[in-house]
Chain A
Amino acid sequence: MRVSFNVNGEDVTADNVWPGESLLYVLRERLGLPGSKNACEQGECGSCTVYFDGVTACSCMIAAGQAEGRRVRTVEGLAQGSGKGPERELGTVQDAFVEAGAVQCGFCTPGLLVQTDDLLERTVGAGLPAPDDAEIREALAGNLCRCTGYEKIIDAVHLAAERHAGTGGGA
């Protein structure tokens, strides 16, 4: 089948999609967007988290056909600049994760970035106070990380919230 949707602001079409494929598979294997990771394929780990019509969701749990006509935003769409490669300007959350040491193997990172971006948009981005530890933990409870013990991730979220509030937004 053919599936057409919008990814990171760009209209895309995937052909010859087997109906059993997930949105995650289509992104990774058909659209050249491998940033979203497949670590459990059953919605338990959050590594494949994307925005789906503005709501965060595990893309492994979305059938390819369900994406028809929808808007998807992946980790590849989080950067502020439009350039490709490591020189392009990182978004606030991305930069904070590197700076705070929240990235080790990095496999959970794309999902955590999307989920953190969403948390900050809902809080500091909406003029509300920055999230405290307990709020951060609840918001990120669906994202497994095996390397860090989460402490540096919490540091990164605080850092990003501080800068987000300071700059008035932007992932």
Chain B
Amino acid sequence: MAATTRTVTGLTSTTKDGVGASPRRPDGTLKVTGEFAYSSDMWMEDMLWGATLRSPHPHAEIRGIDVTGALEVPGVHAVLTHEDVPGEKRYGLEFQDQPVLAFGKVRYKGEPVAVVAADHPETARRAMERIRVDYAVLEPVTDSRRAAMDPDCPPVHEAGSLPEHPEFNQRGNRLRHQPIRTGAFAEAAGAAAREGAVLERLRSEAAVVVSSEYEVGMQDQAFLGPESGMAVPAEDGGVDLYVATQWLHVDQRQIAPALGLPQDKVRLTLAGVGGAFGAREDLSMQIHACLLALRTGRPVKFVYNREESFYGHVHRHPAKMRYEHGASSDGRLLYATAEVVVDGGAYASATPAVVGVASSLGIGPYEVPNVLVDAYGVYTNNPPCGAMRGFGAVQACFAYESQMDRLAAELGMHPVDLRIKNALSQGSRIITGQEIDMPLPMAEMLQRCRDLPMPPERGALPDPGDLRTLPGGVAGTTRGEGVVRGVGYGVGLKNLCFSEGFDDYSTARVRLEVVAGEPVVMVHTAAAEVGQGLVTVKGQIARTELGVEKVVIHPSDTQVGSAGSSSASRQTYMTGGAVRTACASVRAAVFALARERGLVPGDLPDTDLALAGGKVVSATAGALVSLADLLGEAAQGGVVVEETREFHHRPTEMLDPLLGQGASHTQFGMCVHRAVVDVDVDLGLVKVVALDAVQDVGKVMHPQQLAGQIQGGSAQGLGLALMEEILVEDGVIRNPSFTDYLIPTILDTPPMRIEVLEHPDPHAPYGLRGAGEPPTLSSTPAVVAAVRAATGRPLTHAPVRPEDIVGIDL
């Protein structure tokens, strides 16, 4: 039996492998033996392989599609185009603007045009080569700033073809324009000339003004498990889909209308997910597989290869940004202006939400009395962009943190001191007027980060000539000459959970019963385990709340209510909150049963009771009854207690479309990074020596998994700082492979020291704060700042390229 200690106050108990411990992941054994069934591992005897014909053009009219040649290929069972979509022809996360299969036009290179089912992937590929599509090529819209600003820019979507959203200030290719005006800018809002006059006045009052343009490249989530899954036709005319996704119910909500089926005929089960990072928020092969399965009456499996994966999911929005900050001579910020243009590509995906974040958090975690922000999300004929870890906030963070460093340099201040001087804290208001009503120990975090031990100087290494310690590594590009060390800092502010009025909730079903003489809890949710370790945390919560040792995690599927998305760092908060709430109901039912059976002394209130060590216990009267005795063996007619509960976080508000005011966020998260780099300033090569972080998470649920989130997020930010960019020319991706799109290897990634603070958020379950995204914000500007410190170059583009470091204009 579990070693269980109980704290008498309240109902919290310290249970073995409960909240705060680091138990092994329940899927760990299967994952190290090769037996864990990922979506690409699905296999059935009579299955067919699906394949997708994609547009070779970023923008073209479709004049005709002829599939007869493909249908003649032996082994081909179906070839489908838009004409075969029985229901809604378009789908989308926020706007229903994306064709299931293209009709009329294609709007990006890689857009699905037709799908094939065949008995071998090679057969499907050969059949696709025999589909004839007659395209009339059109000029693509590829300049996002032109799409945002030029009223004469041709529309990517024909005027009137999409539903209107006046709250998003739409115009032409602008999907959303979110202005924010505070202080003197609010008084002048809406009149460009008056806003200009305010800006002139503020400039004249500032002792220091810094302004610059910044760019963040298009980053790929680069999960390792490509888009895949299997659709199995069912006898009731419906379909069962086994798929790797981030949110089963939002997939179901989009798939069923396209198939012309009621929601309950489209049943989804989460297959093993090989990473997500936002790339699985949108549909990829889901509808296509279901269409082919229903048409052929056979299971249909899709597995994208790596190149197709680059076309098969949305990416992080590339951003073009203009920032200006003015400060007094003692370093206090007086005003800030920002123009942020994010390129949404051909379809909306999460772009409106990205604009909502980029605007509301556009100035970062700083007190600034006068702010003018305009954030735009636009349609172009570039690849569609949507969710990636930290969306909207990552791009703005690179710009505002770069600005802080420039200001500090102008003022002769330490970059940490400047940040502390202007730091937000609990009780501060961000630029939307929203009060931060939870701890935000930013100044303390910065201090702690600065005080972390430094890695040894190069000269202090046991062997400074060891190539493995140098930029370029064992390739031997340098022996240390021309290598300069730099140090940089970054801070980021991230909204956690869903924002802007969305009724964000999760559902959990918890069952307690006695099996083989032992109480067993089953936790059933629809939440997507994408690698983050939610399956572990759900079990920890159930153990802590119900005082049992054995917890079974039911596979995630649509047979229980929605859990919302594994996005926005929200699942431990939301699904964790739902599991906790359902456990509380189970516990109450058990107490009621114990009372009914006369096992609880009459004067003991529920607040005196707890479940611990498999027993109902009282703080004053000790153990009252074991669960085994109270419930009885389930298989012999014992009592099974089952409760299903929803957990909603507190409501949020839309930003108003004129001044951008409103309490739009649920919770704020923050991470601080310090990067130490060695730069070969002659060859433009960087070795990150250390990338250390301080993060406040409110409550550490699982120390080991938390470290994995912080270090993994930091590494993705390092990638954006130094190497990761999807190169798009004239709407065409130039590097859709792991040969040409580089992500950090173990050699590129330094030791990462972490310091974790726990200032509880009174509004959140256990006081916790979502932890996955904040490190991805701050690590990028910290690394770039360190490279700037080593080189003296302005470095306004993330990722930094070798030519930027050596100062060659290619």
Q: Once the chains bind, are B41 and A28 in contact (CB under 8 Å)?
A: yes
Q: Once the chains bind, are B474 and A107 in contact (CB under 8 Å)?
A: no
Q: Once the chains bind, are A149 and B712 in contact (CB under 8 Å)?
A: yes
Residues of chain B in range 18-42 having any CB-CB distance to chain A below 8 Å: 22, 24-25, 27-38, 40-41
Q: Once the chains bind, are A134 and B466 in contact (CB under 8 Å)?
A: yes
Query: Which residue of A29, A74, A141 contacts B34 across the interface (Cβ within 8 Å)?
Result: A74
With the chains together, A40 CA to B309 CA distance in Å? 10
The answer, yes or no, to whether A20 is at the interface (CB within 8 Å) is yes
Q: Once the chains bind, are B33 and A106 in contact (CB under 8 Å)?
A: no
Residues of chain A within 8 A of B37, CB atoms compared? 34
Provided the pairs A34-B43, A39-B224 are in contact, do residues A101 and B704 lie with their beta carbons within 8 angstroms?
A: yes
Residues of chain B within 8 A of A98, CB atoms compared? 24-25, 28-29, 31-32
Pairs A-B, 9 closest by C-beta atoms: A35-B34, A105-B531, A149-B711, A106-B31, A107-B274, A149-B715, A98-B28, A44-B738, A104-B531
Looking at chain B, what size class is its interface with the partner chain? 35 or more
Which secondary structure dominates chain B's binding surface?
Answer: loop
Which secondary structure dominates chain A's binding surface?
Answer: loop
Q: Once the chains bind, are B707 and A151 in contact (CB under 8 Å)?
A: yes
Q: Once the chains bind, are A148 and B708 in contact (CB under 8 Å)?
A: yes
Q: Could you list which residues of chain B lie within 8 angstroms of chain A, going by C-beta atoms?
A: 22, 24-25, 27-38, 40-41, 43, 120, 122, 221-226, 272-277, 303, 305-306, 466, 468-469, 474, 530-533, 704-705, 707-708, 711-716, 737-739, 743, 745-747, 749, 751-752
Q: Once the chains bind, are A149 and B749 in contact (CB under 8 Å)?
A: yes
Query: Which residue of B32, B468, B532, B708 contacts A109 across the interface (Cβ within 8 Å)?
Result: B32
Provided the pairs A99-B24, A101-B708, A151-B707 are in contact, do residues A34 and B33 lie with their beta carbons within 8 angstroms?
A: no
Residues of chain A in range 138-154 having any CB-CB distance to chain B below 8 Å: 138, 140-154
Q: Once the chains bind, are B274 and A37 in contact (CB under 8 Å)?
A: yes
Residues of chain A within 8 A of B713, CB atoms compared? 149
Which of B28, B224, B469 gathers most chain A CB within 10 Å?
Answer: B224
The answer, yes or no, to whether A103 is at the interface (CB within 8 Å) is yes
Provided the pairs A134-B468, A138-B474 are in contact, do residues A44 and B739 lie with their beta carbons within 8 angstroms?
A: yes
The answer, yes or no, to whether A36 is at the interface (CB within 8 Å) is yes
Which of A44, A94, A105, A154 gathers most chain B CB within 10 Å?
Answer: A105
The answer, yes or no, to whether A38 is at the interface (CB within 8 Å) is yes
Residues of chain B within 8 A of A23, CB atoms compared? none
Q: How far is the CB of A32 from chain B (nearest CB, A)?
A: 8
Closest residue to A25 on the B side, CB-wise? B121
Q: Once the chains bind, are B224 and A42 in contact (CB under 8 Å)?
A: no
Q: Could you list which residues of chain A lie within 8 angstroms of chain B, going by C-beta atoms?
A: 18, 20, 28-29, 32-42, 44-45, 47, 74-76, 78-79, 85-86, 88, 90, 94-95, 97-101, 103-110, 113, 133-134, 136-138, 140-154
Q: Once the chains bind, are A33 and B34 in contact (CB under 8 Å)?
A: yes
Please, could you name 23 A-B residue pairs with CB atoms under 8 Å apart, sorted by A? A38-B40, A39-B224, A41-B305, A42-B739, A74-B34, A75-B32, A86-B35, A88-B33, A97-B28, A103-B31, A104-B532, A106-B28, A134-B469, A136-B746, A137-B747, A141-B746, A144-B738, A146-B221, A146-B223, A146-B224, A147-B708, A149-B713, A150-B711
Query: Which residue of B27, B224, B276 contacts A145 across the interface (Cβ within 8 Å)?
Result: B224
Residues of chain B within 8 A of A106, CB atoms compared? 27-28, 31-32, 36, 272, 274, 531
